[in-house]
Chains A and B, each alone.
Chain A
Amino acid sequence: MRLADSLWTEWLIALRFLLDNRMQSLLIIFGIAVGSAVIVFITALITGLQANVIERTLGTQAHIRILPPEEVNRVLPADDGSWSLVLENPRAQRLRSIINWQDIRDVLDEDPQVLAVSPVISGPAIARRGVARASVALLGIDPVRYQQIIPLTDDLIAGQFTVGAGNAVIGKELARDLGLGIGDKLKLDAGEGREAVVDIAGIFELGVRELDARYVYLDLKQTQTLLDLAGGVTVIDTTVGEIFEADRIAKRLARLTGLRAESWMETNGQLLNALSSQSMTTEMIRIFVGISVAFGIASVLAVSVVQRTREIGILRAMGSPRGQILRVFLLQGGLLGLLGSACGGAVGWGLVQVFNLAGPRLFFIPVDPTLVPLAMLVATVTGVLAAAMPARRAARYDPAVAIRYV
């Protein structure tokens, strides 16, 4: 007998048993559907939320920043056999250029794990318009390279992204504070008499208030002059392909260049902690919902096995092997899991769409196309596993006793 023909009977019996107890089957399918919907929705929501938070965080900063080494005090070592007590004041960190930054940039350009490299010179200044003043951060950039790190043109709300020839691009908050519009002039004072007047070519909105109120993008050369670091850059921004490998890559780049390398994971430690706690919470919710679904299936099938005792005895008396009875109940478990999760998956997917269309619209939740099929697969396997114990019990019934069961 071919397996397919044999399973035909198991399928038929399993389906008829489920249909015969329609209300019982519907109730457990409803229970499984609720569990699956929760799992699908919460997975999509949390995955979407985390992707969004990371995207927003990394949308305004480099993945790894290469910085010059910090200036430290040199303390003479104590003579042999003696101790020295040192009272040390930490060194002030003056603005310094990365030595041979062009060579380092070229090396990083060739690194297979680094996607984009952008040398930046940044330093403080005062922006003035009339009597209004604001403290700003000057960022001298190579616009083509910098766009690969932070795609500023996507965030432009007015004008264009042009920083050469005395043009500057500023944030929305700064423009509002100083009453600036496109084409207006802005005076920048970097101290010690180094001043420049620039034209506002563009206004951006990154969505981070601090950055929108302080960043002033200028040409690399003009900034070098303003900050008195001719030909220098203070930081090399990079992006990497594997964002969660940034820590490891940063350590490697630090060893490679002999400079400091700060990864986004290091500077956003609290955020990462929050994300991983959130992932753990989601995982716990999924596990407990999964367990309650499994127990639901197991208990319904356990009741069904008792209800069907006499029919199982009859089937056994008519020559149904133990394996066939086992498969009938395993199939019922699988079918309940599949049907319940298909309904639940559809509801979960629908909830995500409702959230995207009619929710608070804080962010968009993309649904991974494999999420619902995967949830259905897991629920089906869970159903089969949950059915194992009742199915084993059914298969072990003594037909002579089972037939007389009332």
Chain B
Amino acid sequence: MSESAASQNVEEVLRLEQVRKAFNFGTPLETEVLHGIDLRLCRGELTALIGPSGSGKSTLLNLIGLLDAPSSGELYLLGQPTRNSDDETRTRLRNHAIGFVFQFHHLISAFSVLENVLMPLMIRRGRPSSADIDLARSLLNEVGLDAFADKKPTQISGGQQQRVAIARALITRPPLLLADEPTGNLDTRTSQSVFELFHRINVQFGCAVLVVTHDPRLAADCARTIQLVDGRIVSDHSRTETR
């Protein structure tokens, strides 16, 4: 998937049609955790996904992030059906179209902050060009960490690590940014500043942002809130104006 192809569909980024996910599928121990999810995410949307523990948020995020495949239904990423895609296609799509931010930031300790940000591009095309490095530096500048480019992840704070993870997720200019409890491990003040960063990049980069969160105050800050209970979407509210 080329970057130009990814940018052609400016509105819809992701569509889920009757997506079900069952573990031990087709066996007597089959347990369905997602029951016919329909969902559509468009560019520029900042969406919060909330729900109690065990509601299927992480499973849904894994499906959307192409880390797992639905048992039935279809998941379209940039208009492309993905349920039956092979591992190679899903891997390529993850690299080109999706940015991940995880709860525990998951930076690679063997690399510097700058190299961590560059990693998705290095995975894609090897040695980074000077333009790639400039882009990574500007993203670090964007998240207020340009002075820490050469530090190791272990030499910066948890909030700073999460900002680096956000910069890393944005380096490929993905149309879809997924964040799994990005503030779950941070104190209130740091959480607020990280969330503000999500707002800013949502406006600035125009990507669809889906944030899984437990924090109702942060969810209330989002333009759209989807509530998942027992594997079903029970509410999907959009506000015309936020913040």
Q: How far is the CB of A285 from chain B (nearest CB, A)?
A: 37
In the bound assembly, the distance between CA atoms of A376 and B106 in angstroms comes to 37
User: Which chain A residue has the least Cβ–Cβ distance from B67?
Assistant: A400
A157 in the interface (beta carbon within 8 A): no
**Within residues 89 to 118 of chain B, which ones have a CB less than 8 A from any CB in chain A?**
91-96, 100, 102, 106, 108-111
A16 x B87 contact (CB < 8 A): no
Query: A residues within 8 A CB of B67?
Result: 317, 398-400, 403
In the bound assembly, the distance between CA atoms of A17 and B108 in angstroms comes to 10
In the bound assembly, the distance between CA atoms of A324 and B122 in angstroms comes to 11
In the bound assembly, the distance between CA atoms of A317 and B105 in angstroms comes to 13
A318 x B126 contact (CB < 8 A): no
Binary contact track A263-285/B, C-beta < 8 Å → 1, others 0: 00000000000000000000000
User: Which chain B residue has the least Cβ–Cβ distance from A321?
Assistant: B91
8 Å CB contact of B120 from A12, A20, A318: A318
B138 in the interface (beta carbon within 8 A): no
Q: How far is the CB of B68 from chain A (nearest CB, A)?
A: 5
In the bound assembly, the distance between CA atoms of A20 and B109 in angstroms comes to 8
Interface size on A, residues (CB 8 A): 31
In the bound assembly, the distance between CA atoms of A17 and B115 in angstroms comes to 14
A96 in the interface (beta carbon within 8 A): no
B123 x A9 contact (CB < 8 A): yes
Query: A residues within 8 A CB of B123?
Result: 9, 315, 318-320, 324
Taking A1-B126, A317-B100, A319-B120 as contacts, is the C-beta distance between A400 and B62 under 8 angstroms? yes
8 Å CB contact of B126 from A5, A16, A316, A322: A5
In the bound assembly, the distance between CA atoms of A324 and B92 in angstroms comes to 12
Taking A314-B106, A399-B67, A403-B106 as contacts, is the C-beta distance between A5 and B127 under 8 angstroms? yes
Q: How far is the CB of B207 from chain A (nearest CB, A)?
A: 16
In the bound assembly, the distance between CA atoms of A4 and B126 in angstroms comes to 8
User: Which chain B residue has the least Cβ–Cβ distance from A314?
Assistant: B106
Query: A residues within 8 A CB of B92?
Result: 319, 321
In the bound assembly, the distance between CA atoms of A319 and B174 in angstroms comes to 12
**Within residues 178 to 234 of chain A, which ones have a CB less than 8 A from any CB in chain B?**
none
Taking A310-B106, A311-B108, A318-B100 as contacts, is the C-beta distance between A9 and B122 under 8 angstroms? yes
B94 x A318 contact (CB < 8 A): yes
Query: B residues within 8 A CB of A400?
Result: 62, 67-68
8 Å CB contact of A6 from B94, B120, B126: B126
Q: How far is the CB of A205 from chain B (nearest CB, A)?
A: 66
Most B-side CB within 10 Å, residue of A2, A4, A313, A403? A403
B102 x A403 contact (CB < 8 A): yes
Query: B residues within 8 A CB of A316?
Result: 91
Most B-side CB within 10 Å, residue of A1, A318, A322, A400? A318
**Cβ-Cβ contact count across A and B, 8 Å cutoff:** 77
In the bound assembly, the distance between CA atoms of A403 and B168 in angstroms comes to 16
In the bound assembly, the distance between CA atoms of A1 and B123 in angstroms comes to 11
Q: How far is the CB of A338 from chain B (nearest CB, A)?
A: 20
**Within residues 11 to 44 of chain A, which ones have a CB less than 8 A from any CB in chain B?**
12-13, 16-17, 19-20
In the bound assembly, the distance between CA atoms of A2 and B62 in angstroms comes to 31
User: Which chain B residue has the least Cβ–Cβ distance from A322?
Assistant: B87
In the bound assembly, the distance between CA atoms of A321 and B95 in angstroms comes to 10
B237 in the interface (beta carbon within 8 A): no
Q: How far is the CB of B133 from chain A (nearest CB, A)?
A: 14
Taking A318-B120, A400-B62, A403-B106 as contacts, is the C-beta distance between A9 and B91 under 8 angstroms? no
User: Which chain B residue has the least Cβ–Cβ distance from A4?
Assistant: B126
Query: B residues within 8 A CB of A20?
Result: 109-110
A83 in the interface (beta carbon within 8 A): no
Taking A20-B109, A318-B94 as contacts, is the C-beta distance between A12 and B102 under 8 angstroms? no
In the bound assembly, the distance between CA atoms of A20 and B111 in angstroms comes to 9
A314 x B108 contact (CB < 8 A): yes
B94 x A317 contact (CB < 8 A): yes
Binary contact track B206-224/A, C-beta < 8 Å → 1, others 0: 0000000000000000000
B65 in the interface (beta carbon within 8 A): yes
Most A-side CB within 10 Å, residue of B106, B119, B126? B126
8 Å CB contact of A16 from B91, B110, B120, B168: B110
B124 in the interface (beta carbon within 8 A): yes
Q: How far is the CB of B105 from chain A (nearest CB, A)?
A: 10
Q: How far is the CB of B142 from chain A (nearest CB, A)?
A: 19
B91 x A7 contact (CB < 8 A): no
**Within residues 291 to 338 of chain A, which ones have a CB less than 8 A from any CB in chain B?**
310-311, 313-322, 324
Q: How far is the CB of B64 from chain A (nearest CB, A)?
A: 12
User: Which chain B residue has the least Cβ–Cβ distance from A16?
Assistant: B110
A319 x B124 contact (CB < 8 A): yes
Binary contact track A46-67/B, C-beta < 8 Å → 1, others 0: 0000000000000000000000
B241 in the interface (beta carbon within 8 A): no
Query: A residues within 8 A CB of B87?
Result: 321-322
Residues of A within 8 A of B (CB): 1-2, 4-9, 12-13, 16-17, 19-20, 310-311, 313-322, 324, 398-400, 403
Q: What are 28 of the A-B contact pairs (CB < 8 Å)?
A: A2-B126, A5-B125, A5-B126, A6-B125, A7-B126, A19-B110, A20-B109, A310-B106, A311-B106, A311-B109, A311-B110, A313-B106, A314-B102, A315-B123, A316-B91, A317-B94, A318-B94, A318-B168, A319-B91, A319-B92, A319-B93, A319-B124, A320-B91, A320-B95, A321-B87, A321-B91, A324-B123, A400-B62
Q: Which 7 A-B pairs have the closest CB atoms?
A: A319-B95, A5-B126, A20-B110, A16-B110, A400-B67, A8-B126, A319-B94
